[in-house]
Each structure stands twice: as structure tokens, then as C-alpha cells.
Structure 1
Amino acid sequence: MDYQNGVSIKEDIESISNGKAAILGFQHLLTMYSGDMLVALLIGAALHFSALQIAYLVSVDIFMCGIATLLQLKRTPLTGIGLPVVLGCAIQVVTPLSSIGQNMGIGVMYGSIIGAGIFVFLISGLFSKIRNFFPPVVTGSLITVIGFSLVPVGFQDLGGGDATSSHFGDPKFLLIGFTTMVVILLMNSYAKGFMKSLAILLGLIAGTAIAGMLGMISLEPVMQATWFHLPTPFAFATPKFEWSSILTMIVVSLTTMIESTGVFFALADITGRKLDSADLKRGYRAEGIAAILGGIFNTFPYSTFSENVGVLQLSGVKSRKPIYFSGFFLLILGLLPKVGALATIIPTSVLGGAMIVMFGMVGVQGIRMLQDVNFKDNHNLLIVAISIGLGLGVTVYPQIFQSLPEFARLILTNGIVISSFSAVLLNAMFNISLSPQRVAAEVHTDAVEKNETK
């Protein structure tokens, strides 16, 4: 039997009842559903898909999210990191995929996804060997930036979604968004047991209910959706392989692997599990296979959703069982577009209110990880200060690199990537390449401090 820190996988899965796990799984689903659906809507619109094609794209995308999630949950000799992760399509793929699809055709776009997925699968072993480059000073900085750099996205959604609209910040949007936040905070502060773990779900329900009373809910998407369909390989186009588009998506895939690494370590910190190179290799392989399947079924590449770290933190339930339910719910919703369309009626402002809380929790999780860092060493202070400063700075002003070539902008305008690169490089420069004399001096200093404490 497989064990994690003395607790068997079976015990981990059975540590919560099916009913509670199903409800918690539905909460995870609602958290990631809108964000993932947005990717499909944006790319579909950019490629001038018809309403029927976009509806199909959204539902198949949700189905593949379920497949990708289940690939990560189940630990096998080949794939699966075995952490409570939910997978979806990262927002950073929208611009490169739209550009490839518009300029080279959707066949080339799907070929680039498959090519990048094969690359991720093949380098998973090598990438996992560099885990020593991700100590708490690096992963803590990365998770802090992942959380706090996404807070503005939550604020934009809270205001209505479109910051250029004349209705942005309408009092109705603010009312339902802040009501969602207040309900989440009240439930998390005063509710007990299982009800406390449902704080996010109850906040979403409360905000949506108020929006319905204000006439802000439309059931038209549900009425237009069909009842059932099966995902079909190559539904839109047969993949075509072109080297420059594949190279572009490989760069994007490296950024998502870095982000996934940070999320893996954050979840491991929450669940009290130690990750080794074999765990990371299986995790990367699962994401590579998910991307290959995404290209075959004409959807997208998939990676770990950082939003769900906040859900896990707030619910306090660390078992993978709710995520299994979430994965199966995603499969069902992908097969039943009319039922799945129900989740689309949740107003953007309601989701924004919940996202602010969840992204903030992710950022705080990064700060908690930084508590294990020795800040008496000025080098660690510099690593955290510079990497977080660069990451948040680029997030606020990505146009600072607007004069650079598109290939460079693709990398440099991603705050998470900038934070990752700077933290890894600075840590390698200051800590990994320490001289033997300095290492001995630090060991002696630590020993003296422990004796003085005693």
C-alpha cells in the first residue's frame, strides 16, 4: 500500500464521508469553472467560432479538465503527483494560442499544443532534478506572487469584468461582490465543522441569490445548451506541426511548469507531505499527457489551478476525496452542456468577491512558507524583496516591455515567471554556490544560537 507521511492513500481518501466530499468537490468545481470557461470563450471569440462551436468548445474543455485532474490525483508508476489538485487551462495561453490560430490556422494551433505536451513529458525527469533550486525562500516568494498578482483580477471581476465599460464599478456589482466576501468571512469566522468548510460555496450562492433578486441573472445560456454530446477527436481541425509555433508553446509550457511547481510545494506544505523528484516527475508527466490529449480533442493545454489552493486552505479539508468528486463532476458537466451551463449564471462580480478572498489566501500561504527562511541572512532578504518586487511590478505594468520582440514579451510580461527566474537565479548565486568556509561559518552560527536558546 502507498503511504504519505505514515498515512495510507486509502485512509486519506476515506477520511471524509461521500456526501460531504461531493459538496466540497462541487465547491472546488465552481471555483475553477468560470476561469477555465473564460479561456475557451476568449480563444473561441478570437478565432471567430460560431456560438454553436464555442458552446461545444466550452463543454469539451470542461470534460478534459476532469480527465486532467484525475490524471494528477491517481499516483501510478508513470503519472500523478497524488496531491489535492484541480487542473484547468492557464490564462497565459490565450494570447499565444489566439495568435497562432489567427496567423497559421487552428490545425497548427492544436499541433503546437501536442508538440509542447510531448516536450513537457520528455523533460519531466530533468525538470524534477532541479527541485533543490526551490527551497522555501524561492517557493515562498513564488506562491506569494502567484496569490497577490491575481488579486487585481478578482477586483476587476468584482467591478463587472470589463474595466473599459461605463458600467464598471456599478453599485449593484459592488453590492453582490462584497456580499459574497462578507458571507465567506462570516461563515469562516463563526460557522462550525462542515458548514465552515463550505464558506466559499455558501458565499457564491448568497451573492448569486441577491443578483437574481436584482434581475441580474439570465437563464438563456441554459436554454440554448443541448442535453448531451460526446467529445470527438479532431472536431475542429487535424493537428499540423510547425516548429516556431511549437517553440512558442514550449516557452509557455515552461512558465506553467514553474507555476505548477510552486503550487505543488504550496499544497505539500498545507497537507504536510514531503515531495521528492519522483513526485514532481509524475506531476509534470501528467500535465504533459493532459496537453497532448487537449490537442487531440481540440481543446487546450492543462496545468494546476492555483485558485484551488485558497479553497483548500479555507475549507481545511486536505483529503483528495473531494477532488475526485470534482473531477467526476467535470466529466459529467462536459457530457451534459445544459447542466454545465447552470454554472455560467453566476455573475462575474460574485466570482470576483470570492476570488479576492481565495487569491489573498494563496498569497498568505506563501508568506507562511517564508517563515521558515533565515532572514538574519541579508541574502535571503534580497532574494525575497527583489523577486516579489519584480513579480508584482511586472503584473501591474507589463507594458514596460512593450518595445521588446514578441517572443521576449511572452516571457517577461508574466509576473510569476519573472519572480520565479529572479528567485531561482538569486538563490543559486547567494546560497547554492556558497563557499565551504561560509557554509561552515553558518553552521557554527546556527549551533551557537541553538545553545543560547537552550
Structure 2
Amino acid sequence: MIRLRRPSRGRPAAGVHPVDEVPPTPTLLLYGLQHVMTMYAGLVAVPLIVGQALGLPFADISYLLAATLLVAGIATVLQTVGVWRIGARLPLVQGVSFASVASMIAVGTGAGGGRDGLTLIFGATLVAGVIGFLLAPLFHRLIRLFPPVVTGTVITVIGVSLLPVAVRWASGASEGQPGDPAAIGLAGFTLLVIVLVYRFLPAFWSRIAILLSLVAGTGLAAALGMADFSRVGEAAWFAVSTPLHFGTPQFSIAAIVSMTVVMLVIMTETTADLLAVGEIVDRKADGPRVVAGLRADTLSTAVSGGLLNSFPASAFAQNVGLVAITGIRSRFVVAAGGGILMVLGLFPKLGAVIASVPQPVLGGAGLALFATVAASGIRSLGGVDFDGHANLVIVAVALGLGVLPIAAPEFYEHFPEWFRTVFDSGISAAAVAAVLLNLLFHGVRDRSTSPVADAPAPVVDSH
């Protein structure tokens, strides 16, 4: 049994780290809803894209959506609350990884699409998750490879890599109308609401500035006829994702190899997100905590593919930005968001309401959120010694390689698939480059001098 310690009336309890604070229930749910609305569009995009690519009927795609929400909620609670040595116990939202989309479509369409393709994806996801779980302890040894010059660079690239997504949402490009003045105006209004809330309203309101901006932006969009709520009526009131709904997972060596490579990339990105959120909440992501976080990631992936009809799980970097911009560090707030996701997975009509938030509105909020992550990375780099050329070269080259696939997505089009799987992601490209360059210039530093030196594992009262 996990014992939660609740502070008195919103005031931090003596000796309790802000990450471990449990706000009053209404506040907890409100902040948790803000996390859900921030990541919802990215979360539902993967099952929609994969389902359509495999030629699944609308009923099956709807089922995938419900399963995705349920798994994301379970994985988020596991990551934030933790069980045994599984879960980083940091405010980190889990969802379906977008890095796996290309490989899953290739695996599924290669099997002829439909449910046959889907069960082959699930089988490969199950095995890749198990392999990742077994490999997680090895990442304990890699933490020393992430001094501030590396973590600061990677955190910066995380934010920069997310910004084009927000720009596409804000410009109307994601809806087939790039440069639409109405979309840009709606995004600008949403961003302005965030700025005004932070400038003029009391501290409590600034903590829900993103939620307020999404509500205000959606309200304006509805008044202008730019919001579509038709899917709310089409969605079912209640649905339960039953294990093995699409059939028993199927296995193929080629599919397993492909998804295992993707799993390693996801683990690299999750490590970067763990380090980033650890910096932001002032609880360093040491070796054991990173291993525990990766175990939550990979176990959720294995269970989702093996039983719960979903895809590889991963940390959501946009929610790291939400933690940074609001200053709400409680992991139990994020756990509440996980609970809300599970409820949405059971009641599709509620999920459809959140899905109706127009993308330009999400774009306006996303510009603030994602840029905040980049700013956090820049702040981390502020403590790096740039005397001489070594650290300057590390940051410059890693940043350049990280931005390259963002600026020119087709750059590696003619490279081998295994190479593209790693370097088509700006985050993993920057991480690999920064680590290798740091080794070239500085070698492996002693753990005692590392900014993420080992610390005691999180303590949880259990009986």
C-alpha cells in the first residue's frame, strides 16, 4: 500500500519535497486536467494515423483510441506513483510514442494491413518492451555520460524539436490550410491569454494559465464557427478495452528487430526527458531513478502490445514544458492526469469533447509550452564553462545535428533504415552527438563529479 502525505491547506509540509506534495483534491484534478488537455492531440494522433494506414474501419480505430487513452493513464500512474523499483516517481506523463509510427506502419502494411497487420505490430511491441525492460539497468552506467553540457543541449533540442509541431497547428497547416489568417489569429489570441494571465492575475491563476487559454481559445473558436463538436455526438458513452480484442499477437523476427531498434530510441528520448524534468523540479534523475523510469516505460510497452491493444509507451516532452511554465512540481498532479486519461478511455464521449479543441488553439498554447522547454535547456547551459573551445564545439555540433532533421525532414531519405530510425529524431540525434563529442573532448568523468551522481532511491512506505 502506498501512503500519500497530504500538506495542510496548500502549504508545503515540513520536510516534504514539492515533487511529493499532494494538493487538495479539487486542485489536484484541475491541474491534472490541464496536463491531459496539453498532451491529448499528440496522444490520439498515433492510433488515428496507424489505423488509417492499415485500412481499419472506423469502429476499430475508435477502439484503438480508447485503448490508447487507457494505457496512457495506467503508464502515467505507474511512472509517477511507482511500484517497487518501477517508475521514476517524477511528474512525467506517459503516452504513445510518435517515434514508432513509421516502423509500425511498415510492419503492419507489410503483413497486408487490417487486423493481421495490427496483431503483428502488437507482437513486435510485446517483445521489444520485454527486451527494453531487461536492458534498462544498463542505462544506469550511461548516466555519467550526461554532464550539464550534454543535458543542457539535449533539453534545448527537445524544446526546439517540438516547436514546428506547434507552428503547424497555429498556422492551420495541420488542417490543410497553411498560413490561414483566422487560424493564426486564434493561435495568437490563445498565446495572448497566457501572457495576460501571467502578467495580471494572482499566482493560482498562473498555475492554470494553459488550461484557461485552451478554454478561452476554444470558446472564441466556437463563437467564430471554427470549432467542430460533431464527433462528440458520434462517440459512445461507455467502452471497455478488453485484452486481446484484435486477436492473439503474432511474431516475426524482422518486425521484432525493427521495433526493438525503435524501443532503444524511445529509451534514449525518455532518458533525456527524465533528466530534463529532474532539472526543472530540482530532483536530479540519478542512475537508479532513470532505470526505474525506463522500466515503467518498457513494461507499459510490453503490456500494451501483449494485452491492451495499444502501442509503445514514451514520456511526453510537451508536458515537461507544462511543469516548467506552471511551476507545479507535484508528481501526484500528473498521476491525477493519468486517472483522468483512464476515465476518458472508458467514456469516449468525454474524450471527444477534449479532442474538439481546435488545433490552432493547441498551437498557440504549444508555442509557449515548447519554447519553455528550450529555455530550460538554455538555462542549464548557463552553468557550463565555455572557456576554451571544447564545450562550445559540443553544443554547436550537437545542436546543429539535432535541428537538421527538423529543418529538412527528407535529409536522410536515402540512408539505411536503421540509421534513419535514430537520426530522423532530432532528440536522439542530438543526444548521440553530444555524448560522443563529450567523450571525445572530456572522456568519462568520475561519477562523484557528475551533476547526476547517485542518490538514494525514492522511499515509499509499503506494507
What CA distance in whole angstroms lies between the structure 1 residues aligned with 2:15 and 2:373? 25
Q: Match for 2:126: what amino acid?
A: I
1:48 — aligned with what?
55
Q: 2:43 aligns with which of 36, 41, 66?
A: 36
User: Given the alignment of the two structures, is residue 235 of structure 1 paired with residue 245 of structure 2, yes or no?
Assistant: yes
1:149 — aligned with what?
161
User: Given the alignment of the two structures, is residue 330 of structure 1 paired with residue 341 of structure 2, yes or no?
Assistant: yes
User: Given the alignment of the two structures, is residue 16 of structure 1 paired with residue 23 of structure 2, yes or no?
Assistant: yes
Q: Match for 1:385: what amino acid?
A: A
What CA distance in whole angstroms lies between the structure 1 residues aligned with 2:388 and 2:57? 58
Q: 1:246 aligns with which of 247, 256, 263?
A: 256
Supply the RMSD in Å over aligned alpha carbons.
Answer: 1.9
Aligned 1:110-121 pairs, distance under 5 A: 110-121=122-133
What do the CA deviations read for 1:322-369 (whole angstroms, capped 9, x no partner)?
A: 112111101100000111111111001111111111110011111111
What CA distance in whole angstroms lies between the structure 2 residues aligned with 1:312 and 1:434? 30
Structure 1 portions without partners, runs of 5+: 440-454
What do the CA deviations read for 1:267-323 (whole angstroms, capped 9, x no partner)?
A: 111111123221111111111110011102121111110000111111111111211
What do the CA deviations read for 1:98-145 (whole angstroms, capped 9, x no partner)?
A: 110110222211111111100110001012221001111111111100
Q: Match for 2:47: what amino acid?
A: A
1:275 — aligned with what?
285
Q: 1:106 aligns with which of 113, 118, 121?
A: 118
What CA distance in whole angstroms lies between the structure 2 residues aligned with 1:398 and 1:79? 35
What CA distance in whole angstroms lies between the structure 1 residues aligned with 2:47 and 2:233? 20
Structure 1 counterpart SS, 2:411: helix
Q: 2:189 aligns with which of 179, 187, 195?
A: 179
Structure 2 counterpart SS, 1:399: coil
What CA distance in whole angstroms lies between the structure 1 residues aligned with 2:210 and 2:296? 28
Q: Is the 8 A contact 1:110 1:239 kept in 2?
A: yes
What CA distance in whole angstroms lies between the structure 1 residues aligned with 2:391 and 2:406? 23
Structure 1 counterpart SS, 2:23: coil
What CA distance in whole angstroms lies between the structure 1 residues aligned with 2:181 and 2:445? 56
Identity of aligned residues (%): 36
User: Given the alignment of the two structures, is residue 158 of structure 1 paired with residue 170 of structure 2, yes or no?
Assistant: yes
What CA distance in whole angstroms lies between the structure 2 residues aligned with 1:174 and 1:87? 29
Alpha carbons of structure 1 residues 344 and 161: separation in structure 2 relative to 1, 3 Å = farther
User: Given the alignment of the two structures, is residue 386 of structure 1 paired with residue 364 of structure 2, yes or no?
Assistant: no
Q: Is the 8 A contact 2:144 2:444 kept in 1?
A: no
1:217 — aligned with what?
227
User: Given the alignment of the two structures, is residue 78 of structure 1 paired with residue 78 of structure 2, yes or no?
Assistant: no
What CA distance in whole angstroms lies between the structure 1 residues aligned with 2:20 and 2:271? 23
Q: Is the 8 A contact 2:19 2:281 kept in 1?
A: no
Aligned 1:298-309 pairs, distance under 5 A: 298-309=309-320
User: Given the alignment of the two structures, is residue 208 of structure 1 paired with residue 226 of structure 2, yes or no?
Assistant: no
What CA distance in whole angstroms lies between the structure 2 residues aligned with 1:158 and 1:280? 34
How far is 1:413 from its partner?
A: 1.7
Alpha carbons of structure 1 residues 169 and 190: separation in structure 2 relative to 1, 3 Å = same
Q: Is the 8 A contact 2:217 2:361 kept in 1?
A: yes
What CA distance in whole angstroms lies between the structure 1 residues aligned with 2:167 and 2:407? 13
How far is 1:7 from its partner?
A: 3.9
Q: Match for 2:96: what amino acid?
A: C
Q: Structure 1 length as normaliser, TM-score?
A: 0.91
1:285 — aligned with what?
295
What CA distance in whole angstroms lies between the structure 2 residues aligned with 1:404 and 1:313? 36
Q: 2:367 aligns with which of 356, 359, 383?
A: 356
Q: How many residues align?
A: 431
What CA distance in whole angstroms lies between the structure 2 residues aligned with 1:194 and 1:82? 24
What CA distance in whole angstroms lies between the structure 1 residues aligned with 2:67 and 2:420? 30
What CA distance in whole angstroms lies between the structure 2 residues aligned with 1:210 and 1:46? 33
Q: Match for 2:171: what amino acid?
A: G
Structure 2 counterpart SS, 1:376: coil
Alpha carbons of structure 1 residues 361 and 218: separation in structure 2 relative to 1, 3 Å = same
Q: 2:68 aligns with which of 37, 44, 61?
A: 61
What CA distance in whole angstroms lies between the structure 2 residues aligned with 1:309 and 1:161? 25
Q: Match for 1:78: what amino acid?
A: R
Structure 1 counterpart SS, 2:174: coil
Q: Which moved more, 1:154-163 or 1:76-85?
A: 154-163
Q: Is the 8 A contact 1:398 1:414 kept in 2?
A: no
What CA distance in whole angstroms lies between the structure 2 residues aligned with 1:120 and 1:434? 26
Q: Which moved more, 1:188-197 or 1:304-313?
A: 188-197
How far is 1:13 from its partner?
A: 4.2
2:457 — aligned with what?
none
Q: Match for 2:241: what amino acid?
A: P
User: Given the alignment of the two structures, is residue 140 of structure 1 paired with residue 152 of structure 2, yes or no?
Assistant: yes
Aligned 1:125-136 pairs, distance under 5 A: 125-136=137-148
Q: Match for 1:271: what amino acid?
A: V
Q: Match for 1:405: what amino acid?
A: P
How far is 1:433 from its partner?
A: 5.1
Structure 2 counterpart SS, 1:400: coil
Q: Match for 1:43: what amino acid?
A: V
2:114 — aligned with what?
none
Structure 2 counterpart SS, 1:215: coil
Q: Is the 8 A contact 2:166 2:364 kept in 1?
A: yes
How far is 1:415 from its partner?
A: 1.4
Q: 2:179 aligns with which of 169, 183, 187?
A: 169
Relative to total residues, which structure has the larger helix share, 1 or 2?
A: 1
What CA distance in whole angstroms lies between the structure 2 residues aligned with 1:45 and 1:206? 32
How far is 1:220 from its partner?
A: 1.5
Q: Match for 1:26: what amino acid?
A: L
Q: Which moved more, 1:206-215 or 1:189-198?
A: 189-198
User: Given the alignment of the two structures, is residue 340 of structure 1 paired with residue 340 of structure 2, yes or no?
Assistant: no
Structure 2 counterpart SS, 1:398: coil
What CA distance in whole angstroms lies between the structure 1 residues aligned with 2:444 and 2:27? 49
